[in-house]
Amino acid sequence: MAGWKLYEALNWASSFLKEHKRDQNAGEILLMHVMKMDRAKLLANLRTDLSRKEQEQFVDWVHRHSEGVPVQYLVGSEEFFGRTFVVNEHVLIPRPETEELVYYALKRMSVLFDGKKGLTIADIGTGSGAIAVTVKLERPDCIVYGVDISRPSLDVAIQNGNRLRADVQWVEGDLLTPFIDKGIKLDVILSNPPYIPLAEKDLLADVVKDHEPELALFGGQDGLDLYRRFCTQLPLVLKEQALVGFEVGAGQGQAVADMLKKVFPKGDIQVVFDINGKDRMVFMEMKNHQ
């Protein structure tokens, strides 16, 4: 293949991805990573030549993305809350909706606990560690646990914790069982559990269903299995004053809120909509003496 300049590589990728019904902008992201340039530098150097090695790497990535491999798995990272997290096929790619869960949780924590330091917080089903690491870095005074049933996922989370210097306590285990077994009580529980109904598997984009881990995607026939299990375990680990924040699938907010209401009739439970107007979060606040 003849040597390309950056703009020629971008033009080729754009038309190739369009032809394969993929996002044409993916070419730019992949080229930025191949060239180790940010977007401004890439655009300022469009007449620069790619080396043979860079060109081969770029063509390979564009072909693999056209076959459905997510861009984030190809480049090995994704941005979350202004930080870069390592991702691979063992973990769900962090989404903007989950950034909103963290943002609202941090806001609610400061009001509910009135600036109290040293809260004990758990991120259940931590995956890449995005929630646990972010909360620890935003609230260094807190004790933060990241729990996952999958050892390969946990290895990615530990790597992210080390890279970003977040002193999170990582635990391999199933939902809240590690805390029940050890008698540990929690102030805050956050989770983005698997919530896609199995019935909807065929409706998912192939980049999701063929590449992201099934363990992190599907929550039983109706998508609500994990929330049901949470509801049986929460009373065993929550302190009297506590905050629970779940990410949910669009259309599941009320069902999850109703489950929590049955178990915690005095809890202040709210369904919160994301920036796209979808019911994407459910928060429950327990105040002292409720």
Helix (H, G, I), strand (E, B) or coil at 153: helix
What's the rounded Cα separation, in Å, for the pair 267 and 286? 5
The annotation status of 128 as a binding-site residue, yes or no, is yes
For residue 47, give the 3-state DSSP assignment: coil
- Distance separating alpha carbons of residues 195 and 222, to the nearest angstrom: 8
Query: How far apart (Å, rounded) are the C-alpha atoms in residues 115 and 289?
Result: 19
186: closest CA among 152, 217, 147, 153?
147
Distances in whole angstroms, Cα of residue 258 to Cα of each of 163, 281, 282: 39, 13, 10
Does 192 appear as a known binding residue? yes
Q: Is 148 annotated as a binding residue?
A: yes
129 has binding-site annotation: yes
> Largest Cα–Cα distance of the chain, in whole Å?
74
Q: Do the annotations mark residue 193 as ligand-binding?
A: yes
Determine whether the annotation assigns residue 15 to a binding site: no
What's the angle, vertex CA 253, arms to CA 228 and CA 86, rounded to 5?
80
Q: Report the C-alpha gap between 2 and 10 in whole angstroms.
A: 15
What residue type is 13 in one-letter code? A
Residue 173 assigned ligand-binding role: no
Residue with tokens 């999701």: 208
Residue 213 near residue 91, CB atoms below 8 Å: yes
User: What is the 8-class DSSP label of residue 201?
Assistant: G
Question: Is 213 annotated for ligand binding?
Answer: no
Which residues are part of a known binding site for S-adenosyl-L-methionine?
125-129, 148, 192
Which residues are part of a known binding site for substrate?
192-195
Which residues are part of a known binding site?
125-129, 148, 192-195
